[in-house]
């Protein structure tokens, strides 16, 4: 992921959840990716995309843009290990490079999935961008667990830079930090990277903008270039 991002000089992962009412989602997201492809390190597709275009639509998007983008399936998996691994295998077959998994079940011994010479990177969600009284009570345990499982990285909300900083301290260089919550949810572009994240995830501030390319060009100026 870092290699591709360094080649493209980008720290942005675009979340495709939004499409304008009345438009065909697959057409809209394909055109959007065509127009901003060179500015992205990766693309995140979650349940809204799956429920809008179905698994074959996801496969089509991934296949069309996978040469130049790292694709993350964000179904926030949280289940018994066997079910999570079965889902991860299907995600791998759709062509994705990585998948996001909730770590709070803490009942996994191994999550890595390999098939036909390809492996799926797993990112563990340790702190969300929204606030809740329960969130972050077990932050250190979840980060330790991500390290124990040897995950590719973790997800930490950009709206809490102090938590991003703490997770970087706990994690050291043992995984990447993906940080959503930039733009519409309030965090400034670049703020999570300055706190220690590697990538920022942006959705509506780009996809719902009347001029997505212009919006993204403005946003990417906030990032220091990747130096991996
Ligand atoms: P937006 O930039 O439109 O707010 O989108 C943020 C994206 O990041 C959404 O796809 C959402 O599912 C995801 N996300 C988040 O906002 N906060 C989290 O804590 C974890 C997420 O995956």
pLDDT in tens, 210-224: 999 999 999 998 888
Pick the CATH number of 2-220 from 1.10.1040.10, 3.30.470.10, 3.20.20.70, 3.30.70.20: 3.20.20.70
Going by CA atoms, what residue is nearest to atom 14 of ligand 1?
180
For residue 92, pLDDT over 80 is answered with yes
pLDDT at 149 over 90: yes
Distance 180 CA to ligand 1 centre (A): 5
Q: Whole-model pTM above 0.95? A: yes
Say how many CA atoms lie within 13 Å of 201 toward its Cβ. Answer: 28
Average pLDDT for the chain: 96
Q: Which atom of ligand 1 is nearest to the CA of 125?
A: 20
Give the mean model confidence (pLDDT) for residues 84-92.
96
Q: State the Cα–Cα distance between residues 47 and 17, nearest whole angstrom.
A: 8
Share of the chain above pLDDT 70, in %: 100
Annotated active-site positions, please? 76
Residue 91 CA to residue 75 CA, distance in Å, equals 10
Q: Is 61 in the pocket of ligand 1 (CB under 6 A)?
A: no
Q: Which residues contact 10 (CB under 8 A, 6 or more apart)?
A: 39, 40, 41, 220, 223, 226
80-96 average pLDDT score: 96
Residues 6 or more apart in contact with residue 89 via CB below 8 angstroms: 113, 115
Cα 64 to chain centroid distance, Å, stands at 19
Q: Cβ of 93: how many Cβ atoms within 10 Å?
A: 15
> Does residue 176 carry a pLDDT above 80?
yes
Instruction: Report phi then psi at 62, rounded to 5.
Output: -60, -50
Using the predicted structure, report yes or no on whether residue 227 has a pLDDT greater than 80: no
Q: Which of 15, 101, 183 to mutate to test the pocket of ligand 1 (most atoms within 8 A of CB)?
A: 15
């Amino acid at each position: 992921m870092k290699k591709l991002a360094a080649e493209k000089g980008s720290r942005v992962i675009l979340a495709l959840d939004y499409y304008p009412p009345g438009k065909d989602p697959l057409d809209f997201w394909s055109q959007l990716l065509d127009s901003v492809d060179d500015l992205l390190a990766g693309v995140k597709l979650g349940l809204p995309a799956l429920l809008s275009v179905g698994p074959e639509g996801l496969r089509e998007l991934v296949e069309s843009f996978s040469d130049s983008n790292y694709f993350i399936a964000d179904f926030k998996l949280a289940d018994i290990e066997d079910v999570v691994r079965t889902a991860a295998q299907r995600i791998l077959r759709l062509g994705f490079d990585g998948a996001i998994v909730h770590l709070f079940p803490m009942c996994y011994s191994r999550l890595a999935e390999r098939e036909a010479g390809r492996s799926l990177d797993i990112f563990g969600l340790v702190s969300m961008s929204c606030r809740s009284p329960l969130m972050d009570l077990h932050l250190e345990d979840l980060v330790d667990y991500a390290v124990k499982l040897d995950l590719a990285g973790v997800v930490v909300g950009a709206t809490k830079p102090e938590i991003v900083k703490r997770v970087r301290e706990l994690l050291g260089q043992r995984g990447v930090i993906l940080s959503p919550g930039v733009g519409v949810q309030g965090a400034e572009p670049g703020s999570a990277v300055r706190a220690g994240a590697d990538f920022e995830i942006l959705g509506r501030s780009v996809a719902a903008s009347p001029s997505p390319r212009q919006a993204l060009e403005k946003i990417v100026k906030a990032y220091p270039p990747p130096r991996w």
